[in-house]
A = this chain, B = another copy of it.
């Protein structure tokens, strides 16, 4: 047992074909990953077993849940994958979308639980699911046919993220990051930040803090700053809440 580690889980959101789930299990075992989480999966039958081969144990031990939130609740960092990287600066949902080797660099020296979330075979992750991720990963592909098979995408990501040297830097908990994001939202509301801009600005803040790969201590300090801003505002305001 390593003292400092990065523990990965592979989360498949509503996979449609059990053959793909089996293929994912196999490539996980190939690269030394063990924890599979399935959100509302198809039933796992003959094709799953055929494709998993000697990784059937990974399927048997897979955690099956009914929501994205419960799939990632124990996580520090939630990394969502998309086949469409954002192309303009304004597209905060998919911007930045990091190629796998950059995610590798960002995780070097850290420790914590990382969820790698892969969407449906036909439609990927939904808007609200992408928003809930701390970081977005996209595998660079050609223009002509960018849509990778699900298990190929998992293969490439796990290939790149296997054997990362972990360290002593504790990743913040995803739950605490969510509180921080909510805190930012409250502050913007307090100061009457224009409502039509609020959502987009909050998403941008999410992406900035997500790519900064925060530690738990940094999250607490930032929340302290937000609290200080709120207290200051309370003192100054003619019309305190």
Stretch of A140-148, A165-173, A203-211 contacting B (4+ beta carbons < 8 Å): A140-148
Partner of A142, one of B29, B147, B148, B156: B29
Number of contacting residues on A, CB 8 A?
A: 28
- Whether B23 lies near A54 (C-beta < 8 A) is no
Query: In the complex the two chains form, what is the Cα distance from A163 to B140 in whole Å?
Result: 9
* Interface residue A32 (Cβ < 8 Å from any Cβ of B): yes
Contacts of A55 in B (CB 8 A): 145
Q: Which residue of B lies closest to A26 (CB)?
A: B149
Query: In the complex the two chains form, what is the Cα distance from A150 to B156 in whole Å?
Result: 13
Q: Produce 1/0 per residue, A12-36, CB < 8 A to B.
A: 0000000000010011011110000
Query: In the complex the two chains form, what is the Cα distance from A29 to B149 in whole Å?
Result: 11
Contacts of A29 in B (CB 8 A): 142, 144-145
- Whether B152 lies near A27 (C-beta < 8 A) is yes
Q: What 12 additional pairs, Cβ within 8 angstroms, besides A26-B149, A54-B145?
A: A27-B148, A27-B149, A30-B145, A30-B146, A30-B148, A32-B142, A51-B149, A55-B145, A100-B159, A140-B162, A149-B151, A155-B156
Chain A, range 26-84, C-beta contacts under 8 Å to B: 26-27, 29-32, 51, 54-55
Known: A54-B145, A145-B54, A145-B55. A30 touches B152 (CB 8 A): yes
> Could you jot down 18 A-B contacts, CB within 8 Å?
A26-B145, A26-B152, A27-B148, A27-B149, A27-B152, A29-B142, A30-B141, A30-B142, A30-B145, A30-B148, A31-B141, A31-B142, A32-B142, A55-B145, A100-B159, A140-B163, A151-B152, A159-B159
* Interface residue A139 (Cβ < 8 Å from any Cβ of B): yes
